[in-house]
């Protein structure tokens, strides 16, 4: 177990799927089924972070459901993905319940970050059109600041979050076009590529600090 003093300021470890938990490759069967490979060392890292009292979140635009099974296996409590549910039938229900709880309607053109923790994954993801908007809502729900968060991402879609968090990491084989242009001077490039246990390396970074 890591020294509590090392991890005391970290409240959330969030990460992308493709290119972080995997090597970005998709495998198609003769029946058209898609599969991906995951590294068990990342699963161990997620367990260790959880045991240290740190929340974990998977934030991915992956439109296949393989990563959702992996997230379920690992007990990741917060997941944002286009395939989390069939959300289209829940839009009006979400608006109705929001009004009942907070006594004012949910405006179509604005996100209100006021949902309790237990609600965060039930919200229609069309209200969160980007990874950043979901991440910000999650931070609000958990009553934490981005500076208290670790984020691991590998593409340009991850840049808005990498710019905000206190502990940004990118895999060695990242696909960010201008890594030197990131204004967050805390950015760290791991020695491992996606699918090779990147999260385990991140855990070791804090464990050995």
Assess whether pLDDT exceeds 60 at residue 125. Answer: no
Tell me the three state secondary structure of residue 157: helix
If DSSP states are collapsed to H, E and C, what string results for 62-109?
A: CCCCHHHHHHHHHCCCEEECCCCCCHHHHHHHHHHHHHHHHCCCCCCC
Of 6, 95, 115, the closest CA to residue 52 belongs to 6
Q: What is the pLDDT of residues 74-83, one digit of tens each?
A: 888 888 876 5
Q: What is the pLDDT of residues 14-23, one digit of tens each?
A: 999 988 998 8
CA distance linking residue 145 with residue 142, whole number of Å: 9
Backbone region of residue 199 per phi and psi (left: phi > 0; alpha: psi in -120 to 50; beta: other values) = alpha
| Cut 0.85: pTM above it | no
Do 44 and 201 touch, CB atoms closer than 8 A?
no
Assess whether pLDDT exceeds 50 at residue 38. Answer: yes
Phi and psi torsions of 117, nearest 5°: -55, -45
Show the domains of the chain with their CATH numbers: 4-86+131-207 (3.40.50.1000)
Q: What is the pLDDT of residues 49-63, one digit of tens each?
A: 999 999 999 998 776
Q: Which residue has the higher pLDDT, 35 or 167?
A: 167
Percent of the chain clearing pLDDT 70 (strictly above): 68
Structure tokens at 68: 């959702």
């Amino acid at each position: 177990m890591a020294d509590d003093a090392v991890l005391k300021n970290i409240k959330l470890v969030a990460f992308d799927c493709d290119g972080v938990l995997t090597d970005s490759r998709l495998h198609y069967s003769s029946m058209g089924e898609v599969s991906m490979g995951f590294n068990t060392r990342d699963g161990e890292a997620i367990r260790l972070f959880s045991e240290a009292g740190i929340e974990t979140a998977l934030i991915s635009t992956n439109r296949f459901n393989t990563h959702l099974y992996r997230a379920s296996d690992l007990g990741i409590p917060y997941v944002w993905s286009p395939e989390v549910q069939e959300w289209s039938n829940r839009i009006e229900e979400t608006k109705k319940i929001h009004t009942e709880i907070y006594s004012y309607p949910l405006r179509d053109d604005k996100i209100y970050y006021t949902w309790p923790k237990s609600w965060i994954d039930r919200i229609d993801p069309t209200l969160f059109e980007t990874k950043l908007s979901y991440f910000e809502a999650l931070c609000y729900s958990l009553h934490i600041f981005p500076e208290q968060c670790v984020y691991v991402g590998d593409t340009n879609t991850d840049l808005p979050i990498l710019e905000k968090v206190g502990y940004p990491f990118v895999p060695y084989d990242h696909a960010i076009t201008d890594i030197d242009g990131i204004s967050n001077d805390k950015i760290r490039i791991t020695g491992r590529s996606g699918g090779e246990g990147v999260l385990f390396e991140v855990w070791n970074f804090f464990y050995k600090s």
